[in-house]
Structure 1
Amino acid sequence: MATTQSLLDAAVALAQTRRKADLDDLIEELRIPSISTLPERREDCLRNARWLGDRFDAMGMKTQIVDVVEGGLPVVIADWQGRPGKPHLTMYGHYDVQPVDPVDGWKSPPFEPAVHGGELWARGAADNKGNHMACVKAAEHLHAAGGLPINVRFVIEGEEEITGPSLPRYLRAHGADLKTDTVLIWDSGMDEDGRPTLATALRGLLYTELRAKGPAVDLHSGTFGGVAPNPINTLARVIGELKDRHGHVTIPGFYDAVRPPSAEELAAWKKNDARYVQNMRRMTGAKALEGEEDFLAVERTGSRPTLDANGFIGGFTGKGAKTVIPAEASAKVSMRLVPDQDWQAILPAFKRRVSELTTPGVEISVEVIGSAPPVTCGVDHNAARVLRAAYKEAFGSETALIRVGGSIPVAVDFQEAVGAPLVISGITQADSAIHSPNEHLVIDNYHRGIEAVIRFICGLAE
C-alpha cells in the first residue's frame, strides 16, 4: 500500500497535469441551472444531483440520492469506507444556486460559463459549485493516485439557498449513523486581503415576509387619496422605522443577548479596520459605508446583528402611468443574528414592533420564510491545524480567523446531530459577487483549493 506522502505527491502531481480537465468539469456542472427557489428549475436540480452521483459512482463510492421531504430536493450522500481504523471526514456542499435576476446586469449569460481575465464567470461559480467541486476533484485525484488515505463522506444538498428542510431532517434522523471525526463545511472563502480563512462563528438568520393589506381593492388615488389607507406608505414607514438612520435596530430587546467580541478579536480588528473599509467601499461601489458608527466596520459585518429589507412589491410597477392606491403590498425583511441571539425569541418582539408601527387602516402579517441559529466553532483542534498547514503549502499564506457575516443554515444540524468539530472555510474570493450578477471565481483559487483539500485529507491521515 502506498504511503500517505507518496499518495499526496502523486495526487498533487495529477492535479497539476489535469488542470484543464478539472476546469472543464466545473464548467460542465455550472451549465446546469439548478435554481432551487424556482419550481420550473426542479428538473435541473434533480439533473445536478444525478450528475454528482455519477462522479461519486465512478470513484467506487456508495452513493445515494435521498428524497427526504415530499416535493423537496434530494440530498446526495456518497461514502467511501475503505480505510478501517483511519479517521473519517465528512465534506459538505450544495448544488443549488441563486436566481439570476436582474438578467440584464450580467456581462455574459449566467449559465454559459465564460473566462474573463483569469476568472470563471457563471451563476454558482463561487457559491457553491467551485467550492464543492474542489473537494470532489481532490478526492478523484487521490482515488486515481492509489486510494483515499482516510474514510470520506460527501453530503451535498439542493436546498441551501432556500433554507430547505431536507438535509436538516436527514441529519436529525440519521445522526447516529453519520458519525465522523470532522465536518468540513466548504462554503466560505478568502478574506478581503486574499488570505485563506477559518471561521470562528457564523451569523444566524431570521428571514420574513411582511404582507400589508388596506382597502378591499385598488383605488383611484385622486378620488380616494387623503382618506384611504395606503399599504405601500405604511409598509415603507414600518420598514424605515425598524432601523434608525444610525443603523440601530429599534426592536425592543433585540440586542439584549448579543455576545460581545473578545478583547483579542477587537485588537486584531482595529489594526485592519481602515483597510477593511477601503476594500468594502471598493467591492460595494458605495460612496460611503453605513451602520452603527460606534462599532468598527469589520465588527459590524461579523459580530453585530443586522436588519435589512431585501425586496418590496406593491401597486403598479409597469411602464406608463396608473395612479392607484394599492390594496396590498409586501416586503421581505431579514435579520442576521450573532452568537447567543435566538430567532425564536426575536420573532415575537419583531411582530409586536411591526404591529406598533402600522397605521389604523392597514393590517400587516408576518410570515417566517427561513431561519437558522448563529453558530460558533472552535479552531483549537487537529483538523483546524491541519487545514491551516494545507493552506500554507497550497496558497503560501497564513490563515485568517474570521467571523462570517453570512449564514450556513445546516451548520447547527451537523454540530448537534453529528457532534463532530466543524471546519468552515472555502476558496471564493471576497469580491466574487455571490447572489449578484456576474458571480465569478478566481480560477487559480480553484486549482490551489484542490491542492489544499488533497493536503488536508492526507494530513488527517497522519
Structure 2
Amino acid sequence: MTADPIAGTIVSLLPRARAELAELVAFRSVADPAQFPRSECEAAAEWCADALRAEGFQDVAVLDTPDGTQSVYGLLPGPAGAPTVLLYAHYDVQPPLDEDAWVSPPFELTERDGRWYGRGAADCKGGFIMHLLALRALKANGGVPVSVKVIVEGSEEQGTGGLERYAEAHPELLTADAIVIGDSGNFQEGVPTVTATLRGMTMVRVRVDTLEGNLHSGQFGGAAPDALAALIRVLDSLRAEDGSTTVDGLPAEQSWDGIQYPESAFRTDAKVLDGVDLIGSGTVADRIWARPAVTVLGIDCPPVVGATPSVQASAGALISLRVPPGRDAAEATALLTAHLEKHIPWGARISVEQSGQGQPFRADVKSPAYTAMASAMRVAYPGREMQAAGMGGSIPLCGTLAALYPESEILLIGLSEPKAQIHAVNESVSPSELERLSVAEAVFLREYAAG
C-alpha cells in the first residue's frame, strides 16, 4: 500500500482489531431501556474504559451523563508542549430492526464476501477500534507525538444530548487543539474523504385526538373525524408533489457546490427499486447535504393483523427533520411545530413534543489540520487526493464542540461508506477501510504534531 512503516504495523495489528471488534459488537448496546437492558450499554462502556487503561491512558472515567447514559473518557499525555487532539467515537448502536432479515446474527461479527458484518461494526464501534489501531501503530514507531484525549459516547444514536450537556457543564474536559470525529465515512469505498458539513436534526412526537374513543366505522364512519386520517393529512402537508420537504418558513432551495453524487450511483447505494423515482429537486448532493429533509420514522396506529372496523380516536407519529448548515435547529423545531399545528385538518387536537435535537455543522476545510489530514490521506490511499463531502446525518456533539471551543479544528472521518449500510440490516465494515483510515489517522497525528 505504501512504504511508510505505520502501514505495515497496522496490517500486523488487524487480526487483534478484528477480535476486539467482535467483542465490542457482541454487546447489544442500544441506548433505549424500553428495548434493551441498560446493562448492555454499561458493559460496553466498561469494555471501552478497560481498553483505554490497557493503552496507558490516565484519568480514565465512565461518566454519568444527564440523559441517564454513560460516556467514557481518557487522557494519554504527550511530549511537553505538544498539541492536544481529541478522538471521538460512540459505542451505542441502532436497534437491529428485523433480526430475521440479517444474513448472520446482528450482534455476532461475521466475515462474508470480504467484509465484517454486525451492528455497530462501522457505526461506530469500528471507529473506536480505528482510534486504538492508530495509537498502537504510533507507539510501535517511535511513540504518540501529541497528547490524546478520547471520548466514547453512549447515546449518540438516540439524540438525547447527554454528552453535549455534560460537556457544557464541564467545558475544560474536552478542550483540544484538534478534534477527530470518527463517525462519518468516505464518499465511496476507497475514496479518501473528510466530511465538511453535517445536517442538524430535530425529532418531534405528534399526537392527534378527535374522539373520546374508537367508533364502529359502519355506524359512525363518514361523519366522525378519524384521527388516523387527520394525521395522514398533516404528514402529507410536509411534502410537495415531487417529494421535496415543505415546512412553512424553512428555506429548501440551497445548493451544494462541492463533490457531486451521480444519480445512478445514489440509486445503487440506496438500493432504489427499478421504476421508482427519487424524490425532490436539484442535484442529489443538494437534496441530501444542503437542504432540509423530513422523514416519518414511525406511526402509532393499529396493525393490519387484528385491526377492527373502527374510526380511530387517536393516532401518533415520530417525525425527524434534518436541518441544513446555516439554519438553527431550535428555529427549525419551532417552524415544524407551527406547520403541524396550522395544517391539522377538521379542528383535530394536536400536540407536538420535542424528543431530540442537534445543531448542523460546517468545518473550515482550509485549516492546518485539514492540510495535515490531506497529506495523511495520500499516504493511506496512494494516488488519491482527499475529497470534501457533506453528510446528511447528524452528530449533535459537533455543534456543541464548535460552540465550546471555537479555536479548535474539527475533522470528520470514519468507516460509514455507502456499502456499510449503517442503521439498516446487515450493517458491515470494510477491513480495507479500517486499515487505511487507521493509517491516515496515525499519520495525521504525526503530521499535526510536526506543525
Query: TM above 0.5, one fold?
Result: yes
Q: CA 1:188–1:182 in structure 2 vs 1: closer, same or farther (change >3 Å)?
A: same
**CA distance in structure 2 between the partners assigned to 1:302 and 1:398 by the alignment:** 21
- Give the Å deviation of 1:28: 1.1
**CA distance in structure 1 between the partners assigned to 2:447 and 2:393 by the alignment:** 28
Moved more, 15-24 or 402-411: 15-24
Which residue, out of 324, 327, 337, partners 2:310? 324
Cα deviation, 1:210-241, whole Å, max 9, x if unaligned, reads: 11112112222112211221111110111112
Structure 2: which amino acid aligns with 1:447? E
Residue 339 in structure 1 maps to residue 334 in structure 2: no
Kept after mapping to 1: 8 A contact 2:127/2:183: yes
Q: Secondary structure at the match of 2:197?
A: strand
**CA distance in structure 1 between the partners assigned to 2:433 and 2:16 by the alignment:** 16
Greater helix share, 1 or 2? 1
Q: Secondary structure at the match of 2:263?
A: helix
Structure 2: which amino acid aligns with 1:181? D
Kept after mapping to 2: 8 A contact 1:210/1:364: yes
Q: How does 1:49-60 map to 2 (within 5 A)?
A: 49-60=45-56
**CA distance in structure 2 between the partners assigned to 1:177 and 1:53 by the alignment:** 16
Residue 150 in structure 1 maps to residue 137 in structure 2: no
Residue 189 in structure 1 maps to residue 174 in structure 2: no
Kept after mapping to 2: 8 A contact 1:59/1:143: no
**CA distance in structure 2 between the partners assigned to 1:43 and 1:308 by the alignment:** 31
2:425 match: 437
Structure 2: which amino acid aligns with 1:382? P
**CA distance in structure 2 between the partners assigned to 1:444 and 1:193 by the alignment:** 9
Which residue, out of 1, 9, 12, partners 1:17? 12
**CA distance in structure 1 between the partners assigned to 2:236 and 2:159 by the alignment:** 26
Kept after mapping to 1: 8 A contact 2:372/2:444: yes
- Give the Å deviation of 1:125: 0.8
Which residue, out of 395, 410, 413, partners 1:422? 410
**CA distance in structure 1 between the partners assigned to 2:263 and 2:144 by the alignment:** 43
Q: CA 1:38–1:278 in structure 2 vs 1: closer, same or farther (change >3 Å)?
A: farther
Structure 1: segments with no counterpart, 5+ residues = 1-5
**CA distance in structure 2 between the partners assigned to 1:60 and 1:95 by the alignment:** 20
Structure 2: which amino acid aligns with 1:55? A
- Give the Å deviation of 1:250: 3.1
- Give the Å deviation of 1:165: 2.5
User: Aligned pair count?
Assistant: 442
RMSD: 2.0
**CA distance in structure 2 between the partners assigned to 1:329 and 1:45 by the alignment:** 32
Kept after mapping to 1: 8 A contact 2:289/2:390: yes
2:29 match: 34
Which residue, out of 218, 242, 246, partners 1:246? 242
- Give the Å deviation of 1:75: 1.4
2:388 match: 401
Cα deviation, 1:267-286, whole Å, max 9, x if unaligned, reads: x53xxx5xx21111112222
2:267 match: 281
Residue 46 in structure 1 maps to residue 42 in structure 2: yes
Kept after mapping to 2: 8 A contact 1:281/1:289: no
Q: How does 1:245-324 map to 2 (within 5 A)?
A: 245-255=241-251, 260-262=255-257, 265=258, 269=260, 273=261, 276-286=262-272, 287=274, 288-293=276-281, 295-315=282-302, 317=303, 319-324=305-310
**CA distance in structure 1 between the partners assigned to 2:306 and 2:72 by the alignment:** 48
**CA distance in structure 2 between the partners assigned to 1:103 and 1:318 by the alignment:** 21
**CA distance in structure 1 between the partners assigned to 2:333 and 2:10 by the alignment:** 48
Moved more, 402-411 or 419-428: 419-428
Kept after mapping to 2: 8 A contact 1:202/1:376: yes
Structure 2: segments with no counterpart, 5+ residues = none
1:461 match: 449
Q: Secondary structure at the match of 2:123?
A: helix
1:3 match: none
**CA distance in structure 1 between the partners assigned to 2:51 and 2:136 by the alignment:** 9
**CA distance in structure 1 between the partners assigned to 2:317 and 2:391 by the alignment:** 26
- Give the Å deviation of 1:12: 3.8
Residue 450 in structure 1 maps to residue 446 in structure 2: no
Q: CA 1:404–1:175 in structure 2 vs 1: closer, same or farther (change >3 Å)?
A: same
Cα deviation, 1:109-144, whole Å, max 9, x if unaligned, reads: 100111111111100011101122111222133335
Q: Secondary structure at the match of 2:237?
A: helix
Cα deviation, 1:46-69, whole Å, max 9, x if unaligned, reads: 101100111111112111111132
1:105 match: 101
- Give the Å deviation of 1:300: 1.0
Kept after mapping to 1: 8 A contact 2:123/2:415: no
1:65 match: 62
Kept after mapping to 2: 8 A contact 1:231/1:326: yes
Structure 2: which amino acid aligns with 1:444? S
**CA distance in structure 1 between the partners assigned to 2:246 and 2:49 by the alignment:** 48
**CA distance in structure 1 between the partners assigned to 2:12 and 2:173 by the alignment:** 38
Cα deviation, 1:13-49, whole Å, max 9, x if unaligned, reads: 3322222111111111111110012343311101011
Which residue, out of 108, 113, 118, partners 1:117? 113
**CA distance in structure 1 between the partners assigned to 2:146 and 2:247 by the alignment:** 49
**CA distance in structure 1 between the partners assigned to 2:244 and 2:11 by the alignment:** 50
